[in-house]
Structure 1
Amino acid sequence: MSHALELRAARVRYGPLEALHGVSLIAPAPGLTVLLGRNGSGRTTALRALAGTVPLSGGAVVWGGADITRLPAHERARRGLCFVPDRQAVFGSLTVAENLELAHARGDRTAALAAYPELRPLLARRAGTLSGGEQRMLAVSRALLAAGEGARAVLVDEPTQGMSAAVASRTYGLLEDLDAGVVVAEQRLPPGLRGRAGREVVVYELRRGEVVFAGEAAEVPADRPGAAE
């Protein structure tokens, strides 16, 4: 777990309101960690705190054993952290091809199109004109390219939003197979998470800014609000 990404007693405030109340979690690397919670639970804030796009008012962010709490988001990105937010995750004024080329040092989009062949006929389209599901495919494919270029942590907020069930299932298979620490925020636990040999799928459920469950995916009770149907 030498490249694990951690929140330690993390607190985040938006003005007078505290969104995270001393949240602690460990996202192993390589491996998949799922942050579950309904809207307003703090799952997205926790993901942004890891990425460095919101500051902590207390606690710490630790990556690979080093305290990076004061490291700005762009420096975390330079060190190999890729963050895909739930909105504005692609460059809307650029074409799909240009978005993919920017994500790879040599402009090689082969791996992205192999993962999502649905993007091939859209290469000349401006990303801002795509449907919500198509934009998520493009955003995740950019993260896949970043991981192929050496990204050690990949954080994705609602990676399958707007996707069909089949494409969503394929997306989680792709994320699980990455040789990186992958952290996703979801409202519900995706069905069929299998984990790779020697890796576990870790789940944290947040409610009102606090962790109310922590364990492996197989341990999530079926009657919990965030359990897969």
Structure 2
Amino acid sequence: MKFQEFIKKLQHLSETKKIIIIFAVVAMVAPILGYFWFSSASYHISKIGEPVNSVNLPSIDLPNLDNILPDTDQAQTADSSAKDISTADWKTYTNAQYGFEIKYPPYLEPAETGIPDASIKFINKDQNVNINWVFFGLTPNTDNSLFDEQVQRVQEGEKSGYEKGGIVRILNNFYVEDKKAITYETIGWPSHIPSVDTIIEYKNGVITLQIYGQNEINIDNLNRKDFSEYSDLENINNQMLSTFKFTQ
């Protein structure tokens, strides 16, 4: 029977018979459609376990990235070398009387201070580094103030401004072993010579590491929060502090 004749006869039937016939047709067609759907799905699922190179994928030409991205190993090595600064060839200053020591780089030459048994001064011999000299050692407590009181003075000095010299900013509050410590930046007056100072709690005084700059810095840069001219001082401060330890 042609499809058109089937439709005409269907139109003359009652609603009940129409419903019965429609259900009968669906019941016959559904298994056939289901079979084709299942066969197609099974074929595609079977491809999931195959290696990628066995699947017929369209070919896409990608740009050569060899000259764009660095080799992974080279990138990691460069990054590590930038952060890992060896102090293996540094000399060591030891204060056996007060029980502490620190390493210093080869371009710093030891010099005497007014209190040679408690401290030492280093003169910079490398003109490419913006450092004049470095002071390290025990600072006698001449005014009976404790470490916490000296820190309070630093904090108050930071708030009072630096237009005529003083504390520029506090860099870090930390501990050296179980002793409290603080690092801060200063600027001189009338010459704008920078320094990075660290004081470490020690009995009735403090141990001081002061890195004093060679060249004046631009105070306008500080007002713009540009502290890049302190970078040499910050670097040597951090490197030397990483070698500091108490020996007794």
TM-score by length of 1: 0.26
TM-score by length of 2: 0.25
More helix by share: 2
* Higher CA-based Rg: 2
